[in-house]
Amino acid sequence: MKILVSSCLLGENVRYDSKSSIYSIEDLQLFNKIILENKVFSICPEISGGLLTPREPAEIIKNQVLTKTNENVTKEFIKGSIDSLNLCKKENIKVALLKAKSPSCGNNKIYDGTFSGILVDGMGITAKLLIENNIKVFNEKQLKDLYDFIKNYS
């Protein structure tokens, strides 16, 4: 199966803080199994949208994506989400593994816009667009669910 995967989850240093994401040993084994058994397409919507690393943290505030110093980066986030959707359409990708809590990729919780580490129910710009276009979205805390989805989808 073809899977869209957030670049930071594949070890690329593309997060706002120029780092990648780290897995626990248990998660790493399942993650590796998923990656090795499927065709992976990597994207960082924020980089694709024109943002650089490192960059200021950003959060969604009243339907806009703003940095900690109040710079509006909504346009870049939207462009990255459209690039992600276009890749899915071009490659007929039906499932995505995206970074939890991200203002781009979070699929069930995102930060509340106060830059204080408080999580609220919500979705990042890319996750929302993909879901609206019938692409199933999981995050790195849902690897077992993703694995089961792939197994049952085939």
At 58-95, the pLDDT tens digits run 999 999 999 999 999 999 999 999 999 999 999 999 99
Edge-to-edge strands of the sheet including 95-98?
39-43, 2-6, 95-98, 136-139
**Tokens standing for 150?**
């792939």
At 5-58, the pLDDT tens digits run 999 999 899 989 888 886 776 788 899 999 999 999 999 999 999 999 999 999
Q: In what helix (H) or strand (E) does residue 109 lie, and over which residues does it extend?
A: strand 109-111
pTM for the predicted model, two decimal places: 0.95
Q: Tell me the C-alpha distance between 124 and 101, whole Å.
A: 8
- Total structural domains in the chain? 1
* Residue 134 structural domain: 2-153
